[in-house]
């Protein structure tokens, strides 16, 4: 059987895999053993499945393929952040980051090859979206970054953020399926509360998260709390206005009781004055939330720069005075273009 005709084994549910095994004159329980190797033990090779007979491993190798993700290149920052370029089975490249901070070890993973959104301050937004990632390709990033954390720092992953390349809610099913594999007892068994999905704001998909009763955390990349400014830097806002987003978020909260995090980058001379802070404080009244003020990381495609320290502090203080739970987030991995908004494949262009 030619390689291209082989079935991607991780695209199959356990039930579908059991049917294949029966067609191969193999006992159904063997499928469960293989499924466990694939998802619980994160096995990338049939040869490593030690409790499976050599004959069956040969059958598997002839019929199926494991399209595992591999690390193409890793860069180490002075602050211990590690940026990885991952190569997919079809030779596309994506990036993912290991972010070590006191008390936690976080994997920042991608959900698409490139991005279809065109946020003006984000390097990925200047790339073409090639395709969505499959659930196993997202899962593999977590597995590889966890291994990296253990090998380099002796600490396993504690958190996962879907804040890498792509818009997770435009790859909804695959993102949800990947989280199922990551959180399931049959998979990596990580707590859903340790996972955050970040969106640029797709109102109808935020409502769907509510309907689906998701257990993970939701973050909204806000960056401006009036439509005119947000339209300028995030064209997605033209179809998903702040009013529409507020309604969707209130619906989501009513269904899940999960507070929302707003991510807010303060750009010098654009969204950094007290009026901007007042608009953000007003937007925060819609539902329980917190604000992460994020340091901007300049990219070559855009002319934005980070606001001065005094303005950032004044902005944060105004939010706190108005009862908004506010945190200042310092960027990690800036020296290797691994910080928020900097992910863009440079090799192989």
pLDDT tens readout for residues 301-327: 677 888 888 999 999 999 999 999 999
Burial 175-198 (b: 16+ CB within 10 A, else e): bbbbbebbbeeebbebeeebbbbb
Residue 261, beta-bridge partner list: 219, 290
Contact 124, 165 (CB under 8 A): yes
Q: Give pLDDT, residue 152.
A: 95
CATH number (3.20.20.70, 3.10.580.10, 3.50.50.60, 3.30.420.40) of 70-336 reads: 3.20.20.70
* pLDDT tens figures, 164-203: 999 999 999 999 999 999 999 999 999 999 999 999 999 9
Q: Architecture of 9-65 per CATH?
A: Orthogonal Bundle (1.10)
Q: Give pLDDT, residue 308.
A: 86
Binding residue ranges for [4Fe-4S] cluster: 115, 119, 122
Q: Give pLDDT, residue 207.
A: 98
* pLDDT tens figures, 66-102: 999 999 999 998 889 999 999 999 999 999 999 998 8
Whether the per-residue pLDDT at 270 is higher than 50: the answer is yes
Binding residue ranges: 115, 119, 122, 166-167, 198, 221-223, 297
CA nearest neighbour of 296 among 253, 342, 239, 231: 342
CA nearest neighbour of 70 among 145, 123, 177: 145
* Enzyme catalytic residues: 95, 340
Contact 163, 108 (CB under 8 A): yes
CA dist., res. 92 & res. 348, Å (int):
10
* pLDDT tens figures, 212-232: 999 999 999 999 999 999 999
* pLDDT tens figures, 111-139: 999 888 878 788 776 777 889 999 999 99
Kindly tell me the burial class for residue 310, based on how many C-beta atoms sit within 10 Å of its own C-beta (0-12, 13-18, 19 or more). exposed
Q: Cα 321 to chain center, whole Å?
A: 32
Residue 96, beta-bridge partner list: 84
CA dist., res. 123 & res. 140, Å (int):
23
Q: Grade residue 347 by pLDDT with cuts at 50, 70 and 90.
A: very low
Q: Give pLDDT, residue 298.
A: 74
Query: How many residues comprise the chain?
Result: 349
Sign of CA dihedral 61, 67, 68, 72: positive
CA dist., res. 50 & res. 103, Å (int):
36
Contact 260, 219 (CB under 8 A): yes
Of 1-10, 49-58, 272-281, which range is least confident? Answer: 1-10
Domain ranges of the chain: 9-65, 70-336
Q: What is the DSSP letter of 306?
A: B
Q: Give pLDDT, residue 335.
A: 56
* pLDDT tens figures, 323-341: 999 999 876 655 555 444 4
Q: Give pLDDT, residue 1.
A: 42
């Amino acid at each position: 059987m030619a390689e291209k005709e082989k079935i991607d084994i991780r695209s199959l549910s356990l039930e579908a895999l059991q049917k294949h095994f029966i067609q191969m004159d193999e006992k159904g329980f063997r499928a469960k053993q293989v499924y466990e190797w694939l998802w619980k033990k994160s096995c990338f090779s049939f040869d490593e499945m030690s409790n499976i007979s050599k004959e069956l491993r040969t059958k598997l190798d002839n019929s199926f393929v494991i399209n595992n993700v591999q690390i193409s290149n890793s860069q180490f920052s002075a602050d211990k952040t590690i940026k990885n370029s991952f190569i997919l089975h079809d030779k596309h490249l994506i990036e993912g980051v290991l972010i070590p901070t006191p008390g936690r070890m976080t994997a920042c993973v991608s959900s698409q090859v490139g991005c279809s959104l065109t946020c003006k301050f984000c390097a990925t937004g200047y790339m073409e979206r090639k395709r969505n990632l499959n659930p196993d390709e997202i899962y593999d990033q977590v597995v590889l970054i966890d291994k990296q954390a253990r090998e380099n720092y002796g600490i396993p992953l504690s958190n996962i953020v879907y804040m890498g390349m792509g818009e997770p809610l435009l790859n909804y099913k695959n993102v949800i399926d990947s989280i199922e594999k990551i959180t399931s007892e049959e998979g990596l068994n990580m707590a859903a509360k340790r996972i955050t999905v970040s969106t640029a704001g797709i109102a109808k998909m935020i409502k769907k998260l509510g309907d689906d009763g998701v257990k993970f955390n939701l973050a909204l990349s806000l960056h401006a709390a009036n439509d005119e400014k947000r339209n300028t830097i995030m064209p997605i806002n033209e179809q998903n206005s702040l009013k529409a987003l507020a309604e969707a978020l209130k619906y989501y909260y009513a269904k899940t009781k999960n507070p929302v995090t707003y991510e807010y980058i303060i750009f010098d001379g654009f969204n950094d004055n007290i009026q901007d802070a007042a608009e953000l404080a007003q937007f925060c009244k819609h539902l329980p939330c917190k604000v992460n003020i994020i340091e901007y990381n300049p990219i070559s495609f855009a002319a934005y720069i980070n606001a001065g320290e005094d303005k950032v502090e004044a902005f944060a203080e105004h939010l706190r005075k108005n009862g908004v739970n506010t945190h200042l987030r310092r960027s990690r991995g800036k020296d290797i273009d691994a910080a928020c908004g900097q992910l863009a494949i440079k090799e192989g262009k």
